[in-house]
Amino acid sequence: MRLFGATITALDEAVQNGGDPLELIDEAVGWHRLVAAKAQVDALADLAGEDALVTATERYATLRRFSPAFLDAFTFKASGTGTALIKAIDVIRDANTRKSRDLPDGVPLPFPNRQWKRLITESGRIDRRRYEIAIMATLRDRLRAGDVWIEGTRNYQRFDAYLLGRRDAAKVADVLPFDSNAASYLADRARNLDWRLRRFAKQLKTNKLEGVSLERDRLKLQQMPPVTPPEAEALDRKLDTLLPRVRITELLLEVAERTGFLNAFRDLRSGKEHDNPSTVLAAILADGTNLGLERMANASEGVSYAQLAWTHNWYLSPENYQAALAMIISAHHELPFARHWGAGTSSSSDGQFFRSGRSRSGAADVNAKYGAEPGVKIYSHLSDHFASFGSRIMSATAGEAPYVLDGLVLGAGNLPLHEHYTDTGGATDHVFALCHLLGFRFAPRLRDIGDRKLGSIAAPSTYKGIENLMGRTIKTAAIEADWDDIVRIVASIKDGTVAPSVILRKLAAYKRQNRLDFALAELGRIERTLFTLDWLEQPELRRACQAGLNKGEARHTLAAAIYTNRQGRFTDRSLENQEFRASGLNLLIAAISYWNTVYLDRAAQHLNAVGTTFDAALLAHLSPMGWAHISLTGDYLWEQARRLPAGEFHPLNEPMARLKRVA
């Protein structure tokens, strides 16, 4: 589609300026690229022309291997229009019991897609195979949405069951950072949006926006130049040379002593601390480096496989991992040196792809970004102090946007976060809306922001000079109609009753929630437009977002260096084991970042003490995500690992100190 868009742009330029269309296409796009894409275009056109129900019917035999047992195993419940689907399920169950291939006339057709109704009955009678597949597909969607539910389950409850009761939600709404009265809230946002659009039009007309221009009714945004000066790179090399050379065993023991994070790993039954801290650290390393318990036991001194397996079963849990991580993050944010990297009020998030050990499957074929090889993503959150405060496993093909708020609401703990950066994959109108209502400033780096339409509550023609940049009018009536439900959702997320990702997936899953889903998206269009204006008017915001995302890239590089065993692949099939791997990896990243921050501070103080002066502003460009001075692999000699007395530090790696030690 980008190729097609570039072709249209070239043709438009030829029409406007009278150039040769073929020459412009060849110059801007490349004629050979267009020809090479023809096979893909034809394949997509063929796929789009065939209904998914017809395609799925070819795999009916696969469905029949499990569908009768699946329908018999659960009791499905629904209300309203969902009752027709329950009746249809009963029809299929009855046919399965009678072992009949045919279905009776007059069966329910609970499909919003009229095409499906036609395809199922086009032969003059009910096509059993198409009908059963259509029912199973509809059941899947309605279970995801909460329109149909199964009593007693966590993931497939009624939609309302995920939210606070209306009375409790009203109490929480009193402390939310926005006016809970719909009319006054929308009036305030309308005034603000109108003023901002008028100011933007005036600034654009008078060329007062740095790096922004309007060319042929299309915004042009200049790319931000690199902001890291050469002096900062030279200082980074000096400080890195001074950092102590340590084994990962020594580093973990020191971080445990300084932060106390081992206190979080207690027996799941008795609550007692482990009597051998080295065993707990070895189990964490086995998770975080992907080495596994057996190979960790073989590589460790004084730690057996039986000890590791017992420790992993009874001392490591998602809750213990989260509590230990919170201790490291809290200690990290208290370090004075970390303030060089920010005020501790902003964060960023991004997904990192890891290949899996499974054989190639059909699911991998749809992964356009990462290729045909199967894998998973770890979606991680990082504060501006380089503290990695959250991570979770997600499907490589799933959208990242639902998980943006999970880290901010559920994983940030007591961090005073206010602003959050993501890449394009984390940005939707729904996230813009919820971030604003929860008190966060959402600042994603949007791809092709110059092509995105602005929203307005007044008529687009009101804003002279930028009419072509305006999209359709924001439908405030839809927001007002579902305002109480929006407030209830926000209150439920704020209270911790439901994870933001759960609600966002439920809203997007099926048509029953489309009115509320649409209202939340319209609210998000207001916030997205205000952010877009901020982005275009404030070069410092663009620089801050780029710096925040660069910190995330540094974390990804360190993660890839740590998670190297088994070729850096996730070989665990169960989600639980994958979550343990991700938690161990994130804890190691947080520990290394904390340790590096401590010793970067000492190295900088040493340079000042020996008379090597430098501009303190350069420290903002450093990163504590380096690992060249840390031995991550090899034998893990826990008994020989140097344990520092309270208040002492490892000596810096300065030349004169090395000579004295040799002497």
CA distances to 91, 98, 259 from 95, in Å: 6, 5, 63
pLDDT at 364: 42
Looking at the structure, do residues 468 and 528 belong to the same domain, yes or no? yes
Looking at the structure, do residues 407 and 521 belong to the same domain, yes or no? yes
User: Any idea what DSSP says for residue 411?
Assistant: I
The parent domain of residue 254 ranges over 230-325+586-662
**E-assigned strands of 356-387?**
375-383
* For range 539-568, the mean pLDDT: 94
Identity at 296, one-letter amino acid code: M
Tell me the pTM. Answer: 0.83
Looking at the structure, do residues 27 and 110 belong to the same domain, yes or no? no
* For range 162-180, the mean pLDDT: 92
Among 85-99, 497-511, 636-650, name the most confident range: 85-99
Band of residue 360 on the pLDDT scale cut at 50, 70, 90: very low
Q: Which 3 state secondary structure label does DSSP give 454?
A: strand
pLDDT at 661: 47
Q: How far apart are CA 263 and CA 416, in angstroms?
A: 24
Q: How far is CA 435 from the centre of its chain?
A: 14
Domain annotation covers residue 37: yes
Domain annotation covers residue 647: yes
Looking at the structure, do residues 131 and 253 belong to the same domain, yes or no? no
Domain annotation covers residue 590: yes
Looking at the structure, do residues 42 and 114 belong to the same domain, yes or no? no
Q: How far apart are CA 426 and CA 423, in angstroms?
A: 6
pLDDT of 26-60, one tens digit each? Answer: 887 888 888 888 888 877 776 666 678 888 898 89
Nearest partner of 279 among 645, 595, 638, 642, judged by Cα = 638
8 Å CB contact between 267 and 315? yes
Domain annotation covers residue 364: no
pLDDT at 5: 83
What interhelical angle do 575-609 and 539-562 show, nearest 10? 110
Nearest partner of 159 among 149, 172, 173, judged by Cα = 149
Q: Is the pLDDT of residue 367 over 80?
A: no
Q: Is the pLDDT of residue 334 over 80?
A: yes
Looking at the structure, do residues 145 and 92 belong to the same domain, yes or no? yes
Q: What is the 3-state secondary structure (H, E, C) of 152-172?
A: CCCCCCCHHHHCCCHHHHHHH
Domain annotation covers residue 134: yes
Looking at the structure, do residues 66 and 37 belong to the same domain, yes or no? no
The DSSP bridge pattern shows strands 212-215 and 346-355 to be unpaired
Q: How far apart are CA 66 and CA 517, in angstroms?
A: 33
User: Any idea what DSSP says for residue 447?
Assistant: T
Looking at the structure, do residues 407 and 512 belong to the same domain, yes or no? yes
Looking at the structure, do residues 654 and 532 belong to the same domain, yes or no? no
8 Å CB contact between 596 and 626? yes
Q: How far apart are CA 631 and CA 472, in angstroms?
A: 57
Band of residue 358 on the pLDDT scale cut at 50, 70, 90: low
Q: Which two tokens stand for residue 630?
A: 């840390």
Q: Is the pLDDT of residue 305 over 60?
A: yes
8 Å CB contact between 536 and 212? yes
Last residue of one domain, picked from the residues 48, 63, 86: 48
Percent of the chain past pLDDT 70, that is, above it, reads 95
pLDDT at 219: 87
Q: Which two tokens stand for residue 108?
A: 């329910």
Q: Which residues contact 427 (CB under 8 A, 6 or more apart)?
A: 401, 442, 444, 446
The residue length of the chain stands at: 663
Q: How far apart are CA 549 and CA 384, in angstroms?
A: 10
Looking at the structure, do residues 532 and 407 belong to the same domain, yes or no? yes
* For range 516-531, the mean pLDDT: 95
* For range 72-100, the mean pLDDT: 91
**E-assigned strands of 107-254?**
148-149, 212-215, 218-221, 246-247
Q: Which two tokens stand for residue 465?
A: 């000079």
Q: How far apart are CA 374 and CA 318, in angstroms?
A: 25
Q: How far apart are CA 479 and CA 401, in angstroms?
A: 21
Q: Is the pLDDT of residue 604 over 80?
A: yes
* For range 64-80, the mean pLDDT: 91
pLDDT of 463-502, one tens digit each? Answer: 999 999 999 999 999 999 999 999 999 999 999 999 999 8
Q: How far apart are CA 68 and CA 128, in angstroms?
A: 14
pLDDT at 414: 86
Average pLDDT, the chain: 90
* For range 435-450, the mean pLDDT: 90
Looking at the structure, do residues 411 and 522 belong to the same domain, yes or no? yes
Q: Is the pLDDT of residue 362 over 70?
A: no
Percent of the chain past pLDDT 90, that is, above it, reads 65
pLDDT at 48: 64
pLDDT at 152: 80
Q: Which residues contact 483 (CB under 8 A, 6 or more apart)?
A: 182, 185, 519
Tally Cβ neighbours within 10 Å of residue 61. Answer: 8
Band of residue 372 on the pLDDT scale cut at 50, 70, 90: low
Q: How many structural domains comprise the chain?
A: 4
User: Any idea what DSSP says for residue 483?
Assistant: H
Domain annotation covers residue 418: yes
Q: How far apart are CA 111 and CA 609, in angstroms?
A: 76
8 Å CB contact between 389 and 413? yes
Q: Which two tokens stand for residue 337?
A: 């040196």
pLDDT at 646: 84
Band of residue 511 on the pLDDT scale cut at 50, 70, 90: low
Domain annotation covers residue 573: no
Looking at the structure, do residues 639 and 531 belong to the same domain, yes or no? no
8 Å CB contact between 171 and 144? no
**E-assigned strands of 400-469?**
419-422, 441-444, 454-456
pLDDT of 189-243, one tens digit each? Answer: 999 999 999 999 999 999 999 989 888 778 888 887 877 889 999 999 999 999 9
Q: Is the pLDDT of residue 297 over 50?
A: yes
User: How do the residues of the chain divide into helix, strand and coil, expressed in percent and rounded to 5?
Assistant: 60, 10, 30
More confident residue, 179 or 374: 179
Domain annotation covers residue 362: no
Nearest partner of 239 among 624, 570, 543, 593, judged by Cα = 624
8 Å CB contact between 255 and 594? yes
Q: Which two tokens stand for residue 99?
A: 């072992």
pLDDT at 452: 81
Q: How far apart are CA 104 and CA 125, in angstroms?
A: 9
Q: How far apart are CA 604 and CA 627, in angstroms?
A: 18
8 Å CB contact between 444 and 548? no
